[in-house]
Amino acid sequence: DIQMTQSPSLLSASVGDRVTLSCKASQNIYKYLNWYQQKLGEAPKLLIYYTNSLQTGIPSRFSGSGSGTDYTLTISSLQPEDVATYFCQQYNSWPTFGAGTKLELK
């Protein structure tokens, strides 16, 4: 199976900061990479699909990039409501998820 490694596991940032979360696959996943946001006690919510496509209704401060094995989720200006855990997920083979990055306010 394809292993997904996210870094960092915990990220502290201030409101207004530009935030970058990383996700690395154990092999080339050909941009078949999605990002989810999960707030405490809630189900995951799709943010970005196929590396850089913004899901309907998601604020434009969220963006994704990457290719091959390395992918990034960027929040251009962190807002208080962005506090959550973020998971990447590949679907080049059967779906697997990263361990998550917990984003908190500094």
Positions in the binding site for another protein (CB under 8 A) = 1, 32, 34, 36, 42-46, 49-50, 55, 87, 89, 91, 94-100
Q: Please, which residue, 37 or 82, has the CB nearer to another protein?
A: 37
Max Cα distance, the chain (Å)? 37
Cβ-based neighbour number of residue 16 at 10 Å: 9
Shortest CB 22 distance to another protein, Å: 16
Q: Please, which residue, 71 or 87, has the CB nearer to another protein?
A: 87
Shortest CB 19 distance to another protein, Å: 20
User: Whole-angstrom Cα distance, residue 10 to residue 103?
Assistant: 6
User: Whole-angstrom Cα distance, residue 105 to residue 84?
Assistant: 10
Question: Computed over its alpha carbons, how large is the radius of gyration of the chain?
Answer: 13
Q: Please, which residue, 94 or 106, has the CB nearer to another protein?
A: 94
